[in-house]
Homo-oligomer: A and B are copies of this chain.
Amino acid sequence: MRFILFGQADTLRELVAQHPILADCVEIRHAEQAVSNHEKPSVALRQFKQSSMRLAIDAVKTGEAHCVVSAGNTGALMAMAKFVLRTLPGVDRPAIVSFFPTLKGESAMLDLGANVECDATNLVQFAVMGEAFARTVLGIRQPSVGLLNVGEEELKGKEVLREAADRLRNSILPIRFHGFVEGNDIAAGTVDVIVTDGFTGNVALKTAEGTSKLITTFLREAFESSLLAKIGYLLARRRMNNLRARVDPRRYNGAVFLGLDGIAVKSHGGTDALGFANAIGVAADMTIHGIIDKMKHDIAAVQSASSQEVEGKSE
């Protein structure tokens, strides 16, 4: 693996020099500008064409880099990546996907916030893209896909969900569609891919993060609340560390803008070296397993299935 680092060349050179092992695999490119976190996406797009973020995305467009990983401003990265890399043929809107621990292993969910409102076509495309993500990044051979709803019954929930479910049940599609799932199915790992609109997905993701923080805070308070509990913690410490590792957000760092004609991964801004390495790992997995070609193929299959269905109905 080789890296091109975009940013203040002097600063980068000093940092890289501290790790001699990087000398042969890192190339530094100076960027005059940097997109700060409070910059609006539209402004970033127009006024930051010489920023480290933009130059890194441009490198993917020209083919010089296989993928881009950034811990910067999410909205700016999304806007620039969409503008420079363009969406895949047949994809109406890119979505943000990420993965997380479940009772059964790991699952992926999308959209996590790129599209506040979605129609049935968007949701079907998210299902196809998310399935390709689960195959390439999570290594699941035939991922199951569920549509997030407020009940498992076919008649429940919003009209747009029933329409998307009808289309995903179409057996011509190369997707193992499970049907509707509910909020508790996310952590249960009932399906490998959870499909939802960007509003619901964002609320669900942040609700899970908040709940996780609540319980671990209560747990820490319980362990610190008496001498016996403290000794108990010391004895159980190794296993507690295993538990912590299982839900460590750094392991699940790396949200992907899926549906672009290029690979762009967003790292949490506040992560450390381990977390950022995992985000790079996500980008590398997607590159090595050729996710872009797989998605192009699958999206074409969906379009063909839809048109066959239309023809079938009109006969």
Chain A facing B: main interface SS: helix
List chain B residues, Cβ under 8 A from A191.
none
Cβ–Cβ contact A202 & B150, under 8 A? yes
**Of the 9-residue stretches A17-25, A87-95, A203-211, which lies at the interface with chain B?**
A203-211
List chain B residues, Cβ under 8 A from A185.
210
Is A102 an interface residue, CB under 8 A from the partner?
A: yes
Contact of A232 among B148, B204, B235 (CB under 8 A): B235
List chain B residues, Cβ under 8 A from A214.
101-103, 187-188
Is A239 an interface residue, CB under 8 A from the partner?
A: yes
Q: How many copies does the complex hold?
A: 2
Contact of A239 among B186, B207, B226, B247 (CB under 8 A): B226
Cβ–Cβ contact B239 & A222, under 8 A? yes
What's the least CB distance linking A132 to chain B, in Å?
Answer: 24
What's the least CB distance linking A103 to chain B, in Å?
Answer: 6
Cβ–Cβ contact A207 & B187, under 8 A? yes
List chain B residues, Cβ under 8 A from A232.
231-237, 239
In the complex formed, the residue of B with least CB distance to A102 is B214
Is A213 an interface residue, CB under 8 A from the partner?
A: yes
Interface hits, A221-248 → B, CB 8 Å: 221-223, 225-226, 228-229, 231-240, 242-243, 246-247
Cβ–Cβ contact A209 & B183, under 8 A? yes
Complexed CA–CA distance, A244 and B308 (Å)? 55
Is A37 an interface residue, CB under 8 A from the partner?
A: no
Cβ–Cβ contact A226 & B238, under 8 A? yes
A side interface size, CB within 8 A: 60
Cβ–Cβ contact B239 & A150, under 8 A? no
List chain B residues, Cβ under 8 A from A219.
219, 243
Cβ–Cβ contact B188 & A210, under 8 A? yes
Cβ–Cβ contact A218 & B246, under 8 A? yes
Complexed CA–CA distance, A206 and B272 (Å)? 31
Is A166 an interface residue, CB under 8 A from the partner?
A: no
Is A158 an interface residue, CB under 8 A from the partner?
A: yes
- A150 in contact with B203 given A232-B234, A238-B228, A243-B218 (CB within 8 Å): yes
List chain B residues, Cβ under 8 A from A247.
215, 218
Interface hits, A174-212 → B, CB 8 Å: 182-188, 196, 198-200, 202-212
Contact of A116 among B157, B210, B213 (CB under 8 A): B157
Complexed CA–CA distance, A135 and B227 (Å)? 38
Complexed CA–CA distance, A182 and B226 (Å)? 34
Complexed CA–CA distance, A182 and B210 (Å)? 10
Is A217 an interface residue, CB under 8 A from the partner?
A: yes
List chain B residues, Cβ under 8 A from A157.
116, 199
Complexed CA–CA distance, A283 and B28 (Å)? 66
What's the least CB distance linking A268 to chain B, in Å?
Answer: 13
Complexed CA–CA distance, A158 and B47 (Å)? 27
Complexed CA–CA distance, A101 and B225 (Å)? 19
Given A222-B239, A229-B239, 6 further pairs, Cβ under 8 A:
A103-B217, A150-B199, A184-B209, A215-B216, A218-B246, A232-B237
